[in-house]
Structure 1
Amino acid sequence: MKTIQIIMAILSTSILMGQNVSEINSDLKIPDSLSHKSEIRIYQGGGTTTYSSVFVMFKDDSDKWSSHFYEHFNGLEPQVIKRQLIPISDSDFVFQNFIRSYALDLPTMSKINWKLEKRNDIIIDEGIDKRGKAFKKYYASSTFSTTVDGKIFYVQVRAHNRNNSFSYSSPDYYLEEYPEVDELQFMCEILQIVREEFNIWKTE
């Protein structure tokens, strides 16, 4: 059961990272690749809903910062709502805080699944086999917690001539379960910057 749950989490994240992102970008009329030297995109999606949203922040060739929030409704006739965002703090300060939270270095969630398991005691299996011979075997096991809220975040970032992309499923939930995992800490820091500076994706 644990293996199935992990695979489902990886697959749901891969869906957001793959074809759906290209379809969303096409509807939003933005390129698939980051076209500015300093840019970050965060896609939120997942679950059974046809709704997704995208936060975009970049600095253009004239050193002017722009931030936008897109809401995307998929369907036979996709709808897009776009609005400009203005951060509370200076834009360059905000972007550097993304970098400070290791946006250029974070791995994707599938790379740290082993950290999101709680180790159980060694299982001892002993008895008599079909030939009447005694046996004793030992097995290591672990428990993996899951959530059904299905919130998936896919991040793309470019800065200092470097690019990175990564995705996390329900990072707020997993940080509560595994507060010692630094990758979850930094992913949630990135989301918290967006929530506090731009007043979007607020949690209850």
Structure 2
Amino acid sequence: MRSLTQILFLIFSISVNAQSISEYEKQLNIEPISNNAKEIRVYKKYAISTGLELFIFYFDDSSNKYKAEYYYVTVDKKNNKLVKKLDLESIYNMEFNALNLFLSHAKYLPSEQKIWYKFIPKPDIFIEDGYIYHIIGKPMSIIDGISYSIQIQDNDSYNEVEYSNPESYLKNYPEIDELQTINEFLDFIKSSFGIYKN
């Protein structure tokens, strides 16, 4: 029962601390993803600071090309928040990037809450002196760190998920395939565009 209470508290803490995508859009002064677009957005939020970064990869109808942009929040000398925008270049061809990103299994990922059961160790059940015992393990939890909110709009298909500390959790739970998928997706963006490096 105590473990269940801890898990519920952790999930509640994550949901209370998480900002919504619409709040991120307001902070960065950008429009929401349009329907029937080919666009990927990856928001990187730091838990203990006002830091917010955004990677956008999209097909630009006017130029008939894929483009990538990077937004980040910084502060000036007077402690005013500023939003900076960069047009990104890649070490790869943009069509190659599009195939890797839009064909990634990241667009099928369930929410982190739906896979939370995979973080809970299986209980140890044993018999000793005629009594049945079971020991329930508790999942590792990282309160502090980085969360990623991901939106993938691929024409008429849309997925939106948020994962907290996927890099750290993968080190401790390498068998969880959803963590493998999200990290492969993020690693491709990091290496291709040279962003999100901790």
Normalised by the size of structure 2, how large is the TM-score?
Answer: 0.83
What residue is the counterpart of 1:65 in the other structure? Answer: 66
Aligned partners of 1:144, 1:181: CA distance in 2, in Å?
Answer: 13
After superposition, residues 11-160 of structure 1 pair within 5 angstroms as 11-12=13-14, 15-18=17-20, 21-34=21-34, 37-62=37-62, 63-73=64-74, 77-122=80-125, 138-139=133-134, 141-160=136-155
Q: Which runs of 5+ in 1 are unaligned?
A: 127-134
1:77 Cα deviation from its structure 2 partner: 4.5
Size of the aligned set, in residue pairs, is: 193
**Contact 1:17–1:167 (CA under 8 A) maintained in structure 2:** no
TM-score, length-scaled by structure 1: 0.81
Q: 1:7 deviation in Å?
A: 3.7
C-alpha separation between the residues in 2 aligned to 1:151 and 1:2?
Answer: 24
- Structure 2 unaligned residues grouped into runs of 5+: none
Give the C-alpha shift of residue 60 in structure 1: 1.7
The 3 A distance-change label for structure 1 pair 14 and 58 is farther
Partners of 1:13 and 1:169 within 8 A in 2: no
Q: Distance in 1 between matches of 2:157 and 2:108?
A: 10
* Shift >3 Å, 4+ stretches: 13-17, 33-36, 123-126, 135-140
Which of the two has higher C-alpha Rg? 1
| Sequence identity (%) | 28
Secondary structure at 1:104 match in 2:
helix
Q: Output one character per residue of 1:36-94: Cα deviation in whole Å (capped at 9) or x when no partner.
A: 621000001131201111111110223222211111248x9532111111111111211
Select between 105-114 and 90-99 the one with higher mean Cα deviation. Answer: 90-99
When the two chains are superposed, the root-mean-square deviation of aligned CA atoms in Å is: 2.8
